[in-house]
Chains A and B, each alone.
Chain A
Amino acid sequence: MKDTLALLQKFNAHPDSRCWYVAWNPKGTLLASCGGDRAIRIWGREGDSWECKTVLQDGHQRAVRKVAWSPCGNYLASASFDATTCIWKKKNDDFECLTVLEGHENEVKCAAWAPSGNLLATCSRDKSVWIWEVDEEDEYECVSVVNSHTQDAKHVVWHPTQELLASCSYDNNVCVYKEEDDDWECRATLEGHTSTVWGLTFDPSGQRLASCSDDRTVKIWKECQPGGGQGTDTAWKCVCTLSGFHGRTVYDIAWCPLTGALATACGDDGVRVFKEDETADPDQPVFSLSAHVPKAHSQDVNCIAWNPKEAGLLVSRSDNGEIAVWNYQSEV
């Protein structure tokens, strides 16, 4: 493999506790991390190293599972095991807690902003997905509660340009949601994985969805219009399955919006990057393993994220509290 994944830096973000998630801000200049210590840390680059700029404590009573930046970069949503989602507003270098969204019955597993910035989705172990609307006065209102999963909902992700939402679950399925008459409904259920689906990511164009699972595979799904193409119902088909690459559960997957490379975070401590074969039929894509770091961390890799502005810059997160920053180079 001529493609390389080189380690740029490793630092310990959440001492003595697990790091659950890390997210780049839309400009690609800051990293927000969260963990078992109930805190959120904001990191900024100082020359060649990363420094902790702010620590947001006291927002949650239990572990913070995920954080998400709003598309404008001024707000942060944090999803916690304490069943709440906290919305933070950026004020200079600090963040202040604007509001706390309650309603889920138990742990909130994920929060995600729609590309418009007006909608926020959250999902929980209570099996539901909630959609919230935010207005110009920063008021949040829950507009829909969808119960399409039969078990914990693990992750939600929005389409890069349209108001289309996808969620994945402990029930082994992926659900796709669209708004119909002011209400959000599940439009398609993607079955195929044989165990919990942990992560989801859309490709840069939004035509395909990649999912990763405890069954150690990654599946690529494509939306196809059933004959006629005018109907409101859509069907998603699994067009590719990547199996045999991962030794244990694949916890997270990220599709680079700039290069189209697909990165995975795995419970076997490894980080992998897959590249798509340009010559393959778009309805039968072929992906090959482009780069692999087997012992990227000394424990499970929980999260992986591409920098939205700098091609090839990748960050991974591990159970031991470490964040690693990588540079991916592809010989094309």
Chain B
Amino acid sequence: MSGGARLENANPLIFQRTGERLQTANDEDEDVADPIDDREIFDLIRSINDPEHPLSLEELNVVEQVRVRVDDQENAVGVEFTPAIPHCSMATLIGLSIKVKLLRSLPERFKIDVHITPGTHASEDAVNKQLADKERVAAALENSQLLEVVNQCLISNARTG
């Protein structure tokens, strides 16, 4: 990424991480099918790295569990993410990283919708439209440079889990 020395969001607010998921008796029972729920989706995306800072999307409050909607029966997952600042130029990249993480982790039957939390970004309609266009997403992911940047965001490191 062509970036000057100055970060866009030099002093981000850092949020507390949620603890690990508590296992219930049903979770341990092999005979009970585990539907995919919002906590599971959140666990997949919370540790995605922010492209600019050595922090996760959860720590920057870009993703929150309450903004994840899952309907296991209808095979639909919706994630709203909140860019840290309204003119964040990384918004499309962050949205793409979330989408790619879910595409790679979830069963094929799921339809994945990634949107910007309404009212939190100056170009949210344009970004949402790009993320929803699978042809654009597929072509972008064939670009090896962009793919490398996305993969960097998706590397989980020991610190952020």
Contact = CB atoms under 8 A, between A and B. Distances in A.
A85 B132 CA distance: 26
A62 B142 contact: yes
Given A196-B133, A214-B132, A81 B109 contact: no
B129 A196 contact: yes
A298 B109 contact: yes
A314 B135 CA distance: 24
Interface string A300-332: 100000000000000000001000000000000
Contact of B129 (A81, A109, A125, A195): A195
Interface of A: 18, 36, 62-63, 65, 81, 106-107, 109, 125, 152, 154, 170, 195-196, 214, 248-249, 267-268, 298-300, 320
Contact of A299 (B109, B129, B135): B109
Contacts of A195: 129
Contacts of A62: 139, 142
B136 interface: yes
A81 B111 contact: no
B135 A154 contact: yes
Given A170-B133, A196-B133, A320-B108, A125 B138 contact: no
B109 A125 contact: no
The 7 A-B residue pairs whose C-beta atoms are closest, nearest first, are A107-B139, A81-B139, A62-B142, A81-B142, A299-B108, A298-B109, A320-B108
Interface string B116-143: 0000000000000100111110110010
Given A81-B142, A298-B109, A109 B132 contact: no
A63 B138 contact: yes
Contacts of A63: 138-139, 142
Interface of chain B, helix or strand or loop or mixed? helix
Contacts of A320: 108
A78 B134 CA distance: 20
Contacts of B136: 125, 152, 170
30 contacts: A36-B138, A62-B139, A62-B142, A63-B138, A63-B139, A63-B142, A65-B135, A81-B138, A81-B139, A81-B142, A106-B139, A107-B139, A125-B139, A152-B136, A154-B135, A170-B133, A170-B136, A196-B129, A196-B133, A214-B132, A214-B133, A248-B111, A249-B132, A267-B111, A268-B111, A298-B108, A299-B108, A299-B109, A300-B134, A320-B108
Interface residues of B, number: 12
A214 B134 CA distance: 11
Contact of B138 (A18, A154, A298): A18
B108 A109 contact: no
A36 B133 CA distance: 16
Contacts of B109: 298-299
A268 to B, nearest CB: 8
Nearest to A107: B139
A305 to B, nearest CB: 18
A123 to B, nearest CB: 12
A122 B134 CA distance: 20
Contacts of A214: 132-133
Contacts of A18: 138
A195 B126 CA distance: 11
Contacts of A107: 139
A62 B141 CA distance: 11
Contacts of A298: 108-109
A319 B94 CA distance: 24
Contacts of B142: 62-63, 81
A17 to B, nearest CB: 10
A162 to B, nearest CB: 29
B99 to A, nearest CB: 14
A214 to B, nearest CB: 7
A251 to B, nearest CB: 9
Nearest to A82: B142
A268 B76 CA distance: 10
A256 B132 CA distance: 29
Contacts of A152: 136
Q: Give the most central of A107, A109, A195, A320: most B CB within 10 Å.
A: A107
A168 to B, nearest CB: 13
